[in-house]
Every structure is written in structure tokens, then in C-alpha cells.
Structure 1
Amino acid sequence: MDMKPRPFIPPAPKPRTSPPSTLQMLRIVYRNPLELWGEPSYNEPYISIRTGIGGPLVIANDPALIRHILVDNAQNYRMARVRQKVLRPILRDGLLTAEGEVWKRSRKAMAPVFTPRHIAGFAQPMLRVSEDFAGRYRDGAIVDIARDMTMLTYEILAETLFSGEIAGNPSEFGKQVDHLFETMGRIDPLDLIGAPDWLPRLTRLRGYSVLRFFRDLVGKTIRMRKDKLARDPDGSPNDFLTLLLKAEGAGGLSADEIEDNIITFIGAGHETTARALGWTLYCLAEAPWERERVETEVEAVLASTPDPGDWLGKMPLTRAVFEEAMRLYPPAASISREAIEAERWRDLDIVKGAQFQIMPWTIHRHRRLWKNPDAFLPERFHPENREAIDRYQYLPFGAGPRVCIGASFAMQEAIIALAVLLRQWRFDTLPRTRPWPVQKLTTQPQGGLPMRVSRR
């Protein structure tokens, strides 16, 4: 008799069965864009629609079309205007929003930090921070895991990329991040209808104070490090911050570009991993049979492998649950592009200015690409099954020239953090743990993730 439990189906909006009116669409996009998508988005290879408020919009789900846009003909696709209107006020010319030569200079300046050798060197600091964080929990405590993972990944980021030398109070930082995503992280209806930039966006007016907080924090951090470099250039950390500061000048980065990139990494660089870790712990709590397998693996690997840099390769089950959580709740739920020139792809005529939405949210749940797509099934990512997954049907870190520069960093960080936490603690949901995925730049659990922590 087969006693295998029924898979856990995590909460998610049901596909719409009828298209919304223009007014409904504006309201949904502001409240939660994940609730906008209808049945065709989860079933068709692509959809070309007229929105009534601008040019054509193409929802791209076909892995071959996605590859065409992000890789094969990437030079014909720039960042979409609506996306830039949301992100540029926050990040300006940071790596996520810069284009052209500015982006190339930034990517080149940061590349040495994210080489495999450098990332391996971060494993021990990641372990120390995770163990210190895990040591703060108390048996039976009720915590918001979503907030906790934000703080953990921030502390890891601060220790690894900034050698622990970010100005300000970490607890205040967590509150400000929440405020940033609540205000500046939403698409404003005026952006969708193409209103001029001089018209104030009411959704963002409340966010200017938090932007000042981050700009002040980054300014103080830069001044602290510059003073240290001036006093003791040989004794200063050779980390991400120092590397950026040394890139300042002709042929390198401007002072503003350095500030923008530090904002990008401090304000957003930890956030995607934090969300993925929170959703992972939630899914494991609701699928305890998967959690038991991971706990067994963690105990065996940690007992035999002291170097945390080796854990990622030795924990296929732990990696699989993290990747499956990112499939169901991709930290970045959408990738937006705009066609620079007209072209044709197979039977699709692409006009100049066409807007493309590559939606990891719908692609990761697409009926033609995944079996039982709404279920939490980590076995999809077990080593023997990985080859069945097309490179362009799974996009937690994007793809092409603009693939996330920190993807390997994030994977190593996540496995180390999960191993440390799950070895010591068990995280269980409560009756009030009813998260609802909401897109605010990242895929966030509305209402947080209240969970009980119990010592194992």
C-alpha cells in the first residue's frame, strides 16, 4: 500500500477566468500584480494583448522565446519603462537599473568579488553569522520568520561584502526595508497609463523619507571606509566596498554610481535570498515528511564535513527544497523588457516598443512545463531529475547577460543558513500563519510568517 503523503499545495492566487477591466487592472496591479494573471498565462506559450493604455504587451512563457529575448537577441531588448519607473527612483544607476556603458562598468567592477574562489572564501563568515543568529532563538519562542530572514541575510551581507562596517543600527534597517517596499516598491497606476514624470506619484511620496535614510546610511558607510583607507590602506578590508571605491575615477565608476551600487546591494541584495529562505521554512513546516529528510541530510553532512564551503555540493535534498520554494515563490516575480526594433520570432510579429513580461511566477507554475505545478515537490530538483528542467523554464536568478551576479553567493548562503538553523531548531506554523504572496518588488508573504521555534 502506497503511504506517500499527498503533496502540500502552498497558497497562491487562482488564475483569473475572465480579463479585468482597465480600472480593475490598475487596482490589481497596485495591490498585488500576482492576482492579475488569467488561465492563458498558465497554459499558453505566449500571449499578445492590447491593454488599452499603451502599446502591445507580450506575456512570454515559451522557454525558446525567453531565450531569444534574454540571450540570443538580448541587444534588441532594453529594460521596460514601467519597471524603470519603479526601480530607478530607488536605485538610480545601480546594477539592477543601469543600462549601456554604465551597466558594463559596474558589472566589470563587481565581477572579481563574485568569482567562485572569492565566494568560497565567504563560507566561514556566513557560517559564523548564521550560528550567532541561531543562538539567539529560545525554545518555544514565536517569531516572524519573514522578518528574521531579512535580518539574517542582512547580517551576512554586512559581514561578507562590507566586513561588518555598515553604518547604522541593524534593527532600524529592518523597519526601513519594510517601509521601502511598502511605498516605493509598488507600481503606480500613473506609470501604467503613461502619465508624465512631473506628475507626483502619490504611492511614492511616503517613501522619500526612507530613501533619505538609505542615502544617509550609504554616505556614512562610504566616509567611514574612505577614512580607514586613508589612515591604513594596507590594513583595510579588501572587500566589495573597497573594490568599488578603488574603481572610482576615469574609466571606472563615478562617485554617484558607487553610491547607487552600494544602495542596490544593501537595500536589495539580501532581500531576494531572505524571501526565499522564509518561504522554504514555511513549506518545510507544512510538509514535515520533506523536513525530516532534510534534517537527516543536514545532520549527516555537518557531522562529516567541517568546511561549509563544501555543503552546497553535499546537500542535494536541502538544495532541492530551497530551489522548489523559489519555483513556487520566485523572489523576483517578473522580468520586463521592451523591443528596441521590430522583428519576427517564429509566428510572432514583434513591433518596435512592444512590452514583454517574462513572469517567473507564471512560468514556474505553467501547465505545459511542469507536472502538478502548484504542489511543493522538491523531488523535481533531485539530481536524477534536474536534466528534465529546461534552463529557461526556471528563472529564479534571471538569465542572459543580466543574470543575477550574486546567484552563486545566494545559493551558498542559503544552504549554510538552512543547515545551521535546521540542525538546531524546528520551525512550525501556527493557526494564524496564513501567508498570502504579494508582489512588492519581491514576492513577500502578506502578514509575515509567524512560526514557533522548538529546539530539536
Structure 2
Amino acid sequence: MDMRPEPFVPPAPVPRTVPPSRLEIIRTVLRNPLELWGEPSYTLPWIDTKFFQERTLIINDPGLIRHVLVDNATNYEMSEIRQLILRPILRDGLLTAEGQVWKRSRKAMAPVFTPRHAKGFAGQMLAKSEEYAEKYADVGSSGRVHDVSVDMTELAFAILSETLFSGDIVSETSNFSDDVDQLLHRMGRVDPMDLLRAPPWVPRITRIGGQRVLEKFREIVRKTMEHRNAKIAANPADVPQDFLTLLLQQAGPDGLTLDEIEDNILTFIGAGHETTARALAWTLYCVAQSPHIRQVMEEEVDRVLDGGPEPVEWLEQMPNVRAAFEEALRLYPPAPSINRAAIKDDSWTSPDGKTVEIRAGTTALVMPWTLHRHELYWEKPRAFMPERFLPENRGKISRFQYLPFGAGPRVCIGATFAMQEAVIALAVLMRRYRFDVTPQTDPWPVQKLTTQPRNGLPMRVTVRS
């Protein structure tokens, strides 16, 4: 008899049973796109439909996903609506650049994010996590309530600043998480003009309030670039060979323009740490609701840390901590949608002989949000069950049914970096503290640029006895 308790089912929109009207679609997309999807999106391998008179193919089948994102990726460009939302923020950053600009940027950054190089950041990740953990040092056994959504944003920013920029980001971090929230609330959301495919020069009313924060971020980037360039000019031998220096060294007629460098630095300061921060917060929340899982994780953390291995080894030596983070990424994927548009007519045939015709101009919508909760591919898809990702079970998961970092040529360049950062941060925090829900802990997932908890994540932090 299985004596394990029933797994925790964290909050998420219930699939719609009745198709929404056109007006409901507009309202829902503006409020929270995660609430739009109906039962077919969680039960069928693909859905051929229309969205505002444009043909849209919603794709859940792993084979079809592979076809679009990998095997025939050259036939699929970034969709127009995605670019209308993101390009005003990131311009020609790695997430939004296309063509030769994207190729130059990806090539320039690749050396920093090789697995070997990413492992070299482990010591800095550990130092910054331990430094941040001191924030909770005086909570005592009675504890104190913190919004861990805010805290994890601050921690992830501290790690990113130290590892990729050697602490040289010219910013006051005291209100940095508030600035990120404002930027994503105002800028990283769908505007009615986006749905109507209005050209970029048409004002987006919902984003007017975000321009000030966006300019503040760009000013931070410009000052950071100026500060580092001054160091390079004064004493090149004494300049850290980090991500920032590497990008600046790519400036020139055969490399990146200064505007492209600015865009990529902004991308990593903003979106680069935001995704990890959200996933860390969701992990702490789900673990707090699963005491038996937390106990296993704490025992694993204590055993590994007592053994004294270098932090670069933690990712492999803490499979339960890693699995909890990966399960949180499944339930709350930081990037809940991947949008492409077919350039030419295309088709794909499933192993059972069913053919999907994809006409030029069709939006191919891969939704990690629905894919990760899909009834065809997951047991108890809405439940928090980290054991799915333990080494003995990983073989059951198709490469293309789990896409927290995307896939294909545009797969997240920082995936290894993020996984290592998450395990180190969780281990440091869980070694010393416990995070528990309170009566005020009432998160609701909302899709903006990332999957964010509406109402934040207030949790009681106490010292482990």
C-alpha cells in the first residue's frame, strides 16, 4: 500500500469548458493569458484554430514541437505579436534579435555560457547566497514574514551582478525588485493594439507608465558600460574577463554595435535574472506545502554540505533539491509561451499517420504552460511531484514535453547557469531556514514577461532547529 500523502496541487486556472467570446478573449489576454486556455489545450496533441482571424496552431505533441523548434526551425520566425510586446523593452537583445544580429550576439555570448565556464561561477554563487542568507539571521525560532518573491529577485540579481558583471552594475539595489515589477507590469504585457497588430509607432496606453522605468534601466546600463570602458582604458590588465568585458570587446564594424551591447546587457539584467528568481520563489512555496518532500531535501542538503564538497558538485549531488526546482519549473514555467510564425507552407506527419498542414503565416504556439500540465504526457499533471525528475525517472520524460528553457537554436543560453544557481541558492537557504506559508500566502499565477505570483509570496521564515 502506498502510504505517501496526496501531493500538493498548487493554485492555477481551471481549464475552461466553454469557449470564450471575442470580448472575453480580449479581457482575459489583457488581465492574465493563463486563464484563457480551455480543456482541449490540456487534452489534445494540437489544435488548429483562429485567433482574431489569424490561423493559430496550438502545439502540444512533442514530435510536432521538435519539428517546429528544431528540425525545420529555419521556416519559423519570431511571431509578430511577441515582438510587439518584447521589442519595445529589449530591442535587439538576445531574446528578440533576429537574423544576423541574433547570430552575432549568440556567437559573442556563447563562450561565457558553456557548461565548463558556467561551473566556474559556482564559488561566486555560493558566496552571494551565503551573504544574502544573513538577511534572515535574526528571525529566530518565532520567525518573521518576508515576501520571498521580492527576496528571490534581490538574491538572483546579486548573483547575476557578481558573476556576469563582477559587481559593476551601476545601480542602487534597494528598490531594484520594485523596479523590475514595474517594468514587467507596464511593459511585459499584451496591449489591445498588439492584438490588432498595430504598428510599433502607435501608442500603447497600457505601457505609458513603464517608459520611465525602462529609461531608468537603460540609464543603469549606459553608466555600467561607461564605468567598465573607463576601467579598460585605465588599466586593461586589471579588468575582469567577465560577460560585460566580453561584450564590450565585441564592439566594432565586424561585431556588435554599442546599441546591441546595451540591449543585451539590459536583457540579462532584466529578463536574465527574473526567470530564475520567479522559479526559486515558486519552489519555496510548493516545498512549504509538501512537508515530506521538504524533509527529504533538508536531509540531502545537510548530508552533502557536511561532506564538504565544492559547490560546483552540488548540482549532481543534490538530486532531490534539483528535482524540486525542476518540478516548480514545470508547474510555473518562467516563459509560459513560445511563439513562432511559419514563413513557408509546411507539414508534419505523426507516427500514427495523422498529417498537420501548416500554411505560411500561421502562428505556431507552443505553450509550456499547457504542455507541462497536459493529461497525455503527465501523471497527475496539476500536482507538485518532484520525484518525476529524480534520476531513476527522468528517462520517462520526452525532451520535447518539458521546455522550461525552450529548445532548438534559440534554447536559453543560460540554462546550465540557472540550474546551478538555483540548487546552490536553495541549499544555502534550506540549510539554515524554513519557509512556511501564512494565512496571507495566497498567490495566483499571472503571465506577464514571466509567470509571476499575483499578491506576492509572503512566507514566514524561521531558523531551523
TM-score range, shorter chain: over 0.9
Distance apart, 1:2 and its partner CA: 4.2
Query: SS state of the match for residue 10, structure 2?
Result: coil
Alignment of 1:305-454 (within 5 A): 305-346=308-349, 347-454=355-462
AA of the residue aligned to 1:57: T
Query: SS state of the match for residue 336, structure 1?
Result: strand
Equivalent position of 1:126 in the other structure: 125
Equivalent position of 1:49 in the other structure: 49
In 2, Cα distance between equivalents of 1:357 and 1:344: 15
AA of the residue aligned to 1:49: T
Equivalent position of 2:167 in the other structure: 164
AA of the residue aligned to 1:116: P
Query: SS state of the match for residue 269, structure 1?
Result: helix
Q: CA-to-partner distance for each residue in 1:270-296, whole Å, 9 max, x for gaps?
A: 000000000000000000110000000
Which stretch shifts more, 337-346 or 63-72? 337-346
Alignment of 1:63-82 (within 5 A): 63-82=62-81
In 2, Cα distance between equivalents of 1:203 and 1:314: 46
Is 1:277 the counterpart of 2:276 in the alignment?
A: no
In 1, Cα distance between equivalents of 2:428 and 2:5: 27
Equivalent position of 2:352 in the other structure: none
Query: SS state of the match for residue 15, structure 2?
Result: coil
Query: SS state of the match for residue 135, structure 2?
Result: coil
Is 1:293 the counterpart of 2:296 in the alignment?
A: yes
In 1, Cα distance between equivalents of 2:220 and 2:399: 38
AA of the residue aligned to 1:30: L
Query: SS state of the match for residue 74, structure 2?
Result: helix
Which stretch shifts more, 83-92 or 298-307? 298-307
Equivalent position of 2:5 in the other structure: 5
AA of the residue aligned to 2:108: A
In 1, Cα distance between equivalents of 2:2 and 2:327: 24
Structure 1's unaligned 5+ residue stretches are none
Length-normalised TM-score, structure 1: 0.99
Distance apart, 1:345 and its partner CA: 1.5
Is 1:304 the counterpart of 2:292 in the alignment?
A: no
1:54–1:193 CA contact under 8 A, matched in 2? no
Equivalent position of 1:153 in the other structure: 156
In 2, Cα distance between equivalents of 1:430 and 1:382: 29
Alignment of 1:174-323 (within 5 A): 174-323=177-326
Distance apart, 1:117 and its partner CA: 2.2
In 2, Cα distance between equivalents of 1:54 and 1:180: 31
Which stretch shifts more, 301-310 or 25-34? 301-310
In 1, Cα distance between equivalents of 2:458 and 2:250: 43
Q: Say how many residue pairs are matched.
A: 455
Distance apart, 1:268 and its partner CA: 0.9
AA of the residue aligned to 2:25: M
In percent, how many aligned pairs have the same letter? 62
1:149–1:278 CA contact under 8 A, matched in 2? yes
Q: CA-to-partner distance for each residue in 1:91-125, whole Å, 9 max, x for gaps?
A: 00000000111000000100111122211110000
Structure 2's unaligned 5+ residue stretches are 350-354
1:275–1:331 CA contact under 8 A, matched in 2? yes
In 2, Cα distance between equivalents of 1:434 and 1:105: 44
AA of the residue aligned to 1:376: F
Equivalent position of 1:19 in the other structure: 19
1:305–1:311 CA contact under 8 A, matched in 2? no
Q: CA-to-partner distance for each residue in 1:190-216, whole Å, 9 max, x for gaps?
A: 211223333211011111101110110
Distance apart, 1:172 and its partner CA: 2.5
AA of the residue aligned to 2:179: Q
In 2, Cα distance between equivalents of 1:120 and 1:50: 45
